[in-house]
Structure 1
Amino acid sequence: MDQHLAVFITVAEKQNFSRAAEELHMTQPAVSQYIQALERTMGTKLLERTNKYVHLNKAGEIVYHHAKEILGLYGKMHYLIDDLTNNPNGLLSIGASYSFGEYVLPHLIADMQKKYPQIKPAITIGNTKEIAELVLGHQLDVGIVEGQYREKNLKIEPFAVDKMSIVASPKNRLSHIEGEVSIRDIEKEIWIVRENGSGTREATEKLFNQLNIAPKKILEFGSTQLIKESVEAGIGISLLSDWVIRKERDFGSLAVIKVKGLSLTREFSVVLRSPFQTKALSVFLKLLKG
């Protein structure tokens, strides 16, 4: 009966069988059958139908009000039972942009596997735009993206601030300037940037606009690791997350270039499509937000 109530609530809120079917990933005839079955159980019509829309009648309003409460309690009951048994399990599909996915996410997954070994994570790495589109298409349970991505059909919630730095090879001339370098110094350099759709690319373009610079030569590479290797080799300079360059900075294979008055940060955000969360997803989000 909980499925019948869930379908009824969706139809009532969408005011349209077709839109409800799309939201529920069901066919329209199947949605109609659920509504008819619920009306037979209640012994009365619950919806007033027109050519384009459906509206709750008085009986429908009563059922809608109590159905919301019933499903809320039903969901809470399952959540509490799961907490009691401490047994979150099943497949959890996680998508993340390169910086977070390759340098931070593995440590979170390791912690989750120690505490909840029955959760089976499946990881997809892509740029911010790619990950958001996969969540929107219901191909991922959750995404982690960079920058100021916006999409009206997604819930996007910032959860962490990432500091970014301009980096160069220790052999680069900028690395030998004592103190802070000038804006014109970095403008003269070859810049290595990520592809369009990347949160790191967005941050780099924001930096160019902020400093009002237009580097004469820009190389576009589709991998953060490739950019790091290229910077180390002395091809050019780049803007990268401090998480990404942590090891190279400690080992001295990359140098951080200080620019006077410049402080660079961006947000990492959680991206969700469905308001409903499995226990596995709830566990992951709790770990993610610390």
Structure 2
Amino acid sequence: MDFRQLETFVAVAKFKSFSKAADHLYLTQPTISSHISNLEKELNTILINRTNRKISLTKAGEILFDYAMNMVNLKEGAIFKLNEFKGKIVGNIEIAASTVPEQYIVPEIICGFNKNYPDVTFNMLHYDSQQVVEGIIHGDIDFGIVGAEIPHNQLNYVELLQDELFLITPASAPYCDFPEEVPLEKILEENLILREKGSGTRRLLEEALNASKIDLNNLKVVAYIESTEAIKQCIRRNLGISFLSSRAVVDEVNFNFFKTHRVQGLDLKRKFYFVYHKYRNPSPLEHAFQEFVCKYFKFK
């Protein structure tokens, strides 16, 4: 078996696409097709189903995939160690995150990893928590950081740090006299700005309200906004108040633009998780990143 053919087979299986495998390996699509066809001829079996425009592995392909992946990782492991010896690790890490981790956690992780591996590049993707989980399960995303643990038997979750949602108001009138702990019924009187469906922040708030027997429909919601930064700008312009992560408003609180309040009866504490596929074999670089992230916040 030609090693390039095995790399091609692994790429097609991973991306479920001949064109994406071609882009990943810097080859033409006809070359990708030729590698797969020649590998199937040599092994005298069909490895990839090509029906209905969907790429999937045959039973023979599933058997070969684990061996091929091990061989590719063994090669990459040797290159990784040699480059480490020479003092230059290169490669690319792809990480997807929901809004709060994307803006306030992932940059810290990337900067920390960059100090050890300055030649590694990153692709950071924005999805809500549900999309991150689904992308990892389907093999479209390697790593994710999310604000909600969505159980699945194919996923590993590693707790990184704790967070809390606060009710955020402007520090100016008419909210100057808002108490540090706001009565629950008070939020029914205020214009609220909420995150979009699917976000971990929105899910946590809904669960806390449900536990307190408050229907979301009873709130005076003036806007549903995906961007945390956009919500903060709306708060500053007195459109309404909102529930946001404490990590999202550190600067605004320090400069006395915002005040943070707890709401009586609402438990809005949560954890952020690093999530990855339990059964997928990471490359040596991905393994190094995985170990780095899992240890990073333990020493902070």
- Alignment TM-score, normalising by the size of structure 1: 0.70
SS in 1 for 2:157: strand
The 1:187/1:82 distance shift into structure 2, 3 A limit, reads: farther
Q: Which residue among 227, 234, 247 is the counterpart of 1:230? A: 234
Structural RMSD (CA): 4.2
Partner of 1:93 in structure 2? 94
Partner of 2:163 in structure 1? 162
Partner of 2:193 in structure 1? 192
The 1:88/1:72 distance shift into structure 2, 3 A limit, reads: closer
Partner of 1:213 in structure 2? 214
> How far did residue 235 of structure 1 move?
1.9
Partner of 1:139 in structure 2? 140
Identity %: 23
Partner of 1:269 in structure 2? 273
Alpha-carbon deviations, 1:217-265, whole Å to 9, x = none? Answer: 1121121111111122222221111111111111111111133354422
Aligned residues of 2:142 and 2:276 also touching (Cα < 8 A)? yes
Partner of 2:108 in structure 1? 107
Aligned residues of 2:172 and 2:257 also touching (Cα < 8 A)? no
- Alignment TM-score, normalising by the size of structure 2: 0.68
The 1:101/1:77 distance shift into structure 2, 3 A limit, reads: same
Number of equivalenced pairs = 264
Alpha-carbon deviations, 1:37-72, whole Å to 9, x = none? Answer: 679xxxxxxxxxxxxx979xxxxxxxxxx9999999
Q: Distance in 1 between matches of 2:71 and 2:96?
A: 33
Partner of 2:262 in structure 1? 258
Q: Which residue among 245, 250, 275 is the counterpart of 2:249? A: 245
Aligned residues of 1:232 and 1:253 also touching (Cα < 8 A)? yes
SS in 1 for 2:226: coil
Aligned residues of 1:175 and 1:257 also touching (Cα < 8 A)? no
Which segment is superposed worse, 203-212 or 257-266?
Answer: 257-266
The 1:72/1:116 distance shift into structure 2, 3 A limit, reads: closer
Alpha-carbon deviations, 1:144-202, whole Å to 9, x = none? Answer: 122132444x4241322222211111236554144522111122222211111111111
Partner of 1:58 in structure 2? none
Q: Distance in 2 between matches of 1:266 and 1:77?
A: 40
The 1:118/1:54 distance shift into structure 2, 3 A limit, reads: closer
Gaps spanning 5+ residues in structure 1: where? Answer: 11-20, 40-52, 56-65
The 1:126/1:181 distance shift into structure 2, 3 A limit, reads: same
Aligned residues of 2:97 and 2:126 also touching (Cα < 8 A)? yes
Alpha-carbon deviations, 1:82-139, whole Å to 9, x = none? Answer: 6545543212111111101112212222222232122111111222223333334433
The 1:171/1:269 distance shift into structure 2, 3 A limit, reads: same
Q: Distance in 2 between matches of 1:139 and 1:67?
A: 19
Gaps spanning 5+ residues in structure 2: where? Answer: 19-31, 45-57, 61-66
